[in-house]
Structure 1
Amino acid sequence: MRDRTVGGSGLRVSPLGLGTMTWGRDTGPDSAAEQLRDFLDAGGTLLDTSASYADGDAERLIGDLLRTTAARDDVVLCTKGGRNASRRALLADLDGSLARLGVECVDLFLVACPDPATPLAETATALRLAVTSGRARYVGLSNHPGWASAHAATLLDDVGLTALEVEYSLLQRGVEREVRPAAHALGLGLLAWSPLGRGVLTGKYRHTVPADSRAASPHLAGFVEPYLTERAAAVVEAVVTAAQGLGRTPAEVALAWVLARDQVASAIVGARTPGQLRQSLAAVDLALPAQVRAALDDVSAIDAGYPERW
């Protein structure tokens, strides 16, 4: 993998990131270690986690692996906190993450989601302190709307807002209305989470719900269900058709589409097993033909109304 810069910053990450939402819960230590080894061997660097994943157990597992399986300098370590984005809570989340990870600083610290109870200006002061205190090298936001991203970038013009982590796939293109244009204007990089449409774009749900899939899991079924619709099924069939024509897998096609989108620095894949991860790693060398990209753009197009389109 050839690293990409994140927006206009000097931070460089691999085009595919390794997500860890299932680590410490559905993915045990041995499987996680194998995933990390395969990821690093393929040239991957971006390791994405969160204080909330498995109630902190994902970070604890990563901390163990950074002592036994990989060197700290081998990974670009990104974590998230701040469901309560007050200065007190956000910095406490960061300190807790550092302790669980066993590191002195993370490369990228993100605010997990908007907090209506906390002024964005206060959240920005916490992000500034995370950088100036040496606890985070870069900071950003996750799941925030375009206006908030622009406002935060203005508030943090001294230390820099670097990245926006957002859901982005052929089944979720809402960021193209305002978030992606804001990122382009402000020089921010996008990290795309769930680029496989919560697993639906692999084609595994075309005919049934596999017993070992997320959609059959008590704690993840609700996460997948929004994309088990007729509209999503039409997009999946288009991806499958493209994959058959190119001699590739649907997952590779779906990932290649995301990686070709403007401002996307990395697509974060959250594989539950090493086998699933290996299927995704093959996508980095796939450049979709223009006709295929246009067909996928068309079948997955979103409505753009006022004021995005005047």
Structure 2
Amino acid sequence: MEQRHLGRTGLRVSRIGLGTLTWGRGTDEHDAADLVKTFWEAGGTLVDTADVYADGEAEYLLGRIVDRLVPREDLVIATKAGSVPDPERRFDGSRGHLLGALDASLHRLGTDHVDLWQVHAFDPLTPLEETLQALDIAVTTGRARYAGVSNFSGWQLAKAATWQLALPAGRTRLASTQMEYSLLQRGVEREVLPAALDLGVGLLPSSPLGRGVLTGKYRHAAFPGPPGSRGASEHLAGFVAPYLDDAGDRVVDALTTAADGLATTPLQVALAWVRDRPGVCAPLVGPRTSEQLAAALSAEALTLPDEICQALDDVSAPVHRYPDQDWSTL
């Protein structure tokens, strides 16, 4: 699998990453092991998790699998910290919480360092410089090799990345930002992606298949979705539902037409589209089975013709007016 630099850093990652959101709940240890082995054998390196996935069980499973099946040095392990199970405060970016969460993640993962450590979300109750100091400490103490953020808005990302670049000696450059990005969710193109491109921060798209909708599995299925799908899941139905609308149907129809013309699948076309967008380093796929992963990995050989990309751009185009539109024409 092709490798790409993560932002403006020396870290190289496979251009498709493996996500672990369902591990410990919908994906057991046996299936997770099959996923990692299949991914590794295909040349995949980037495996993304978080301390809150299945209350830490995803990290624990990954640690057990790496210890038994895959050499640690062959993987780029990324995890996140900052989300908390508190209805009154969803995110905690304080230095104390973040560093404590990192130590707990390392224990569950069974390793002395992670390759990429990410702040899961912006915490408005903690000074940003304190949050960023936790990243600096993690890197300087060897507990993390690189640092990034996740779910930061455009101004939040720009402020954080600029702060880290303002005093290069002793500050850790942000390597990445993880955000949802797909043909069904292009909101990052408004401010986040331009900021990332300007500041040398690589984009790691989550849900690149539109929470599963872009595979086409919901196209002719009875509501809420086929058996075994996220849409039919008690825990994830609300996650999928926003994209099961008329706008989503139009995109999926166009995607299916493109896939038929290329003798491939909607999944492959959707993944190739987001993978090759400017600024994207590695879309993160979250299959439940090795068969689903193999289907995603088969997109490695696909490069979309320009006319197909343009058609998909047009049908999925978000509405951006002021201030993105030229104000002099208004």
**Category of TM-score, reference length = shorter chain:** over 0.9
Conserved 8 A contact 2:136-2:172: yes
Structure 1, residues 14-37: CA drift from partner, whole Å, max 9, x if none? 010000111111111111111111
Conserved 8 A contact 1:140-1:161: yes
Conserved 8 A contact 1:128-1:156: no
Matched, 1:122 2:130: yes
TM-score (norm 1): 0.99
1:2 & 1:259 partners in 2: Cα distance?
Answer: 11
Map 1:104-123; keep pairs closer than 5 Å: 104-123=112-131
2:249 & 2:216 partners in 1: Cα distance?
Answer: 9
1:101 & 1:61 partners in 2: Cα distance?
Answer: 8
Q: What's the counterpart of residue 166 of structure 1?
A: 179
Q: What's the counterpart of residue 2 of structure 1?
A: 2
1:176 & 1:188 partners in 2: Cα distance?
Answer: 14
Alpha-carbon shift at residue 309 of structure 1 (Å): 2.3
Structure 1, residues 98-127: CA drift from partner, whole Å, max 9, x if none? 010001110000111111211211111111
Q: What's the counterpart of residue 37 of structure 2?
A: 37
2:144 & 2:322 partners in 1: Cα distance?
Answer: 38
2:257 & 2:72 partners in 1: Cα distance?
Answer: 41
**Letter of the structure 2 residue corresponding to residue 34 of structure 1:** D
2:231 partner SS? helix
Structure 2: runs of 5 or more not aligned: 84-91, 166-170
Aligned residues: 310
**Letter of the structure 2 residue corresponding to residue 68 of structure 1:** R
Alpha-carbon shift at residue 292 of structure 1 (Å): 0.4
1:18 & 1:260 partners in 2: Cα distance?
Answer: 17
TM-score (norm 2): 0.93
Alpha-carbon shift at residue 66 of structure 1 (Å): 1.2
Determine which of 291, 294, 317 is the counterpart of 1:278: 294
Q: Over the residues paired in the alignment, what is the CA RMSD in angstroms?
A: 0.8
Determine which of 195, 198, 211 is the counterpart of 1:185: 198
Conserved 8 A contact 1:178-1:308: no
Q: Percent identity?
A: 55
Q: What's the counterpart of residue 303 of structure 1?
A: 319
Structure 1, residues 138-171: CA drift from partner, whole Å, max 9, x if none? 1011010111111111222232111001100000
Deviating beyond 3 angstroms after TM superposition, the runs of 4 or more aligned structure 1 residues are none
Alpha-carbon shift at residue 180 of structure 1 (Å): 0.5
2:10 partner SS? coil
Conserved 8 A contact 2:209-2:215: yes
